[in-house]
Chain A
Amino acid sequence: MNLGKVVGTVVCSSKNDGISGARYLLIDKTNQRGEKKGDYLVALDLIGAGYNEMVLITEGSPSRETPLTVNKPFDALVVGIVDLIDENNKVIYRK
């Protein structure tokens, strides 16, 4: 998975993704300290991640491995909201 921060939302009315009322978040990929890379993607959010939260992003076909996205055209999915990251016994990110 990649780490990313929720920086916004993407609204679409005409779409062909097989889900009604899908919530698309604008994600900026970050490193483990939360520093943004300016590398944006759109990810489907099923768990309700909020603005500026650090999230775990799954990309590619594994994004179809949830009850709602099975056999649907998705390749980026928010799979978790990060509370804390520690590195070499030091907390480097806390929600």
Chain B
Amino acid sequence: MVLARVVGTVVSSHKSQKIEGIKFLLLEKIDPATMKGKGDFIVSMDSVGAGLGEIVFYVSGSSARYTDVTEGKPSDSAVIAIVDYIEKDGVYTYEKNK
């Protein structure tokens, strides 16, 4: 799974019929050591209700279809968790409420 920050949302009204009612999040991949964005963006389906600015991680490929929200849908990317803490080498590089 890849760590990313929610930087926005993507709205599409004209889309594949199967994916109606699903929220698309604009994610920027981050480097967990510095928490800086890598300038590498993707659109991912939200299965946990992640908000703007939150750190999440997402699954790609066929595994993205194994959540209740994305089951049987043409999805190759799904956010499966909102991150509270990232600990690296004994130090918190990210704390959600700080």
Residue of A nearest to B62 (CB): A61
Q: Which of B48, B60, B85, B89 touches A15 (beta carbons < 8 Å)?
A: B48
Number of interface residues of A (CB under 8 A): 30
Known contacts being A10-B83, A60-B61, A76-B1, is A16 close to B32, with CB within 8 Å? no
B residues neighboring A (CB under 8 Å): 1-3, 31-33, 47-49, 57, 59-70, 78, 80-89, 93
List A residues at the B interface (Cβ < 8 Å): 7-18, 24, 26, 38, 40-44, 60-61, 63-64, 71-76
Chain B residues whose C-beta falls within 8 Å of the C-beta of A63 in the assembled complex: 63
Beyond known contacts A14-B48, A26-B88, A44-B1: 14 more, CB 8 A cutoff? A7-B88, A7-B89, A10-B87, A11-B85, A12-B83, A16-B80, A18-B66, A26-B87, A40-B31, A41-B1, A42-B2, A43-B1, A72-B63, A75-B61
